[in-house]
A and B are shown apart, each in its own frame.
Chain A
Amino acid sequence: EPEVTQTPSHQVTQMGQEVILRCVPISNHLYFYWYRQILGQKVEFLVSFYNNEISEKSEIFDDQFSVERPDGSNFTLKIRSTKLEDSAMYFCASTSSGKDTQYFGPGTRLTVL
Chain B
Amino acid sequence: LAKTTQPISMDSYEGQEVNITCSHNNIATNDYITWYQQFPSQGPRFIIQGYKTKVKNEVASLFIPADRKSSTLSLPRVSLSDTAVYYCLVGDPYNNNDMRFGAGTRLTVKP
Contact = CB atoms under 8 A, between A and B. Distances in A.
Pair from one complex: yes
Contact of A98 (B42, B94, B103): B94
A18 B69 CA distance: 44
Contacts of A42: 87, 101-104
Interface in A44-63: 44-45, 48, 56, 58
A106 B97 contact: no
Interface in B75-107: 87, 93-94, 96-104
A29 to B, nearest CB: 12
B90 to A, nearest CB: 14
A101 B46 contact: yes
B56 interface: no
A102 B46 contact: yes
B98 A33 contact: yes
Interface residues of A, number: 26
A66 to B, nearest CB: 18
Nearest to A57: B98
Interface residues of B, number: 21
A33 B101 CA distance: 14
A93 to B, nearest CB: 7
Contact of B44 (A43, A48, A100): A43
A4 B97 CA distance: 18
Interface of B: 34, 38, 41-46, 49, 87, 93-94, 96-104
Interface of A: 4, 31, 33, 35, 42-45, 48, 56, 58, 89, 91, 93, 95, 98-107, 109
The 10 closest A-B pairs by CB, nearest first: A104-B43, A99-B93, A43-B101, A101-B46, A91-B43, A98-B97, A56-B98, A99-B94, A42-B101, A42-B103
18 contacts: A4-B43, A35-B99, A35-B101, A42-B102, A42-B103, A42-B104, A43-B44, A44-B101, A48-B98, A89-B41, A93-B43, A98-B93, A101-B49, A103-B46, A104-B43, A105-B43, A107-B42, A107-B43
